[in-house]
Amino acid sequence: MERPERLRDIAIGLGCVGLALLILLIWIPADVDTGIVDVWRRNVRIGDAMLPSFATAGVLFAGVGVMMRALLGLPGTPIRPVSPAFGLAVAAILAATILLFLYTGPLLTALFHDAETTYREIRHLAPWKYAGVVAGGTFLVFALICLVRHEIRLRSLVIALVSTLVMAAVYDLPFDGLLLPPNGDY
């Protein structure tokens, strides 16, 4: 890695780390009423700070990664302009993901239950509550990996599935009465 690229990446990494620490230590505590987890009358709920804290932690770890790669002199990925075809492909992937999120649960309910059982009645029960999140999340991650790598691999599908299941578990298992998206809409 050439010196100007290394300095640029170190600056980007420091900027991300500094911004993330500012958000985590000052902005979120000053702006949010509840913490990451909110316990009220023995009912454990997601606090208002959970999503911004997780997102900011992602920025923090990415900044540390970029900075460490530059400090160690490891090669990075060259920055190339994004083509309109790539943008359209990402838009199509996002549109398909939204459809999977919204309609997987209701479609599976229609296939495996009688006509009187609605998705709204069973949306809080496993496995139905995970259907849209797992289908949509797995598709999103898998399709974006395939798009960026220009190849379809079983390994990418496994990574997508496992990461989606972990995310669903982190958000759902510790909290009572939580409806994973899009179940709150039904």
pLDDT confidence band for 79 (50 / 70 / 90): low
Provide mean pLDDT across the span 10-14.
92
Provide mean pLDDT across the span 35-54.
77
Backbone angles phi, psi at 117, to 5 degrees: -85, 125
The answer on pLDDT for 152 being more than 90 is yes
> Could you give the CA distance from residue 21 to residue 30 in angstroms, rounded to a whole number?
13
Mean model confidence pLDDT for the chain: 86
Instruction: Name residue 46's beta-bridge partners.
Output: 37
Between 118 and 142, the higher pLDDT residue? 142
The helix or strand, by DSSP H or E, that contains position 51, with its residue range, turns out to be helix 50-71
pLDDT in tens, 168-178: 888 777 776 66
Provide mean pLDDT across the span 107-126.
82
Give residue limits of the domains in the chain.
3-71, 84-185
The answer on pLDDT for 181 being more than 70 is no
Q: Closest Cα partner for 129 from 138, 120, 117, 116? A: 120
Q: Closest Cα partner for 150 from 96, 101, 65, 85? A: 85
Going by the DSSP 8-state scheme, the letter that residue 184 receives in this structure is G
Q: Identify the pLDDT of residue 176.
A: 66
> Could you give the CA distance from residue 113 to residue 184 in angstroms, rounded to a whole number?
20
Q: Could you tell me what percent of the chain has a pLDDT over 70?
A: 92
Which residue blocks in 28-153 are alpha helix, DSSP H? Answer: 28-31, 50-71, 84-112, 119-122, 128-149
Q: Identify the pLDDT of residue 186.
A: 47
Greatest pairwise CA separation for the chain in angstroms: 67
Instruction: Name residue 43's beta-bridge partners.
Output: 40
The answer on pLDDT for 42 being more than 80 is no
Provide mean pLDDT across the span 62-81.
83
> Could you give the CA distance from residue 55 to residue 50 in angstroms, rounded to a whole number?
9
pLDDT confidence band for 90 (50 / 70 / 90): very high
Q: What is the pTM of this model?
A: 0.68
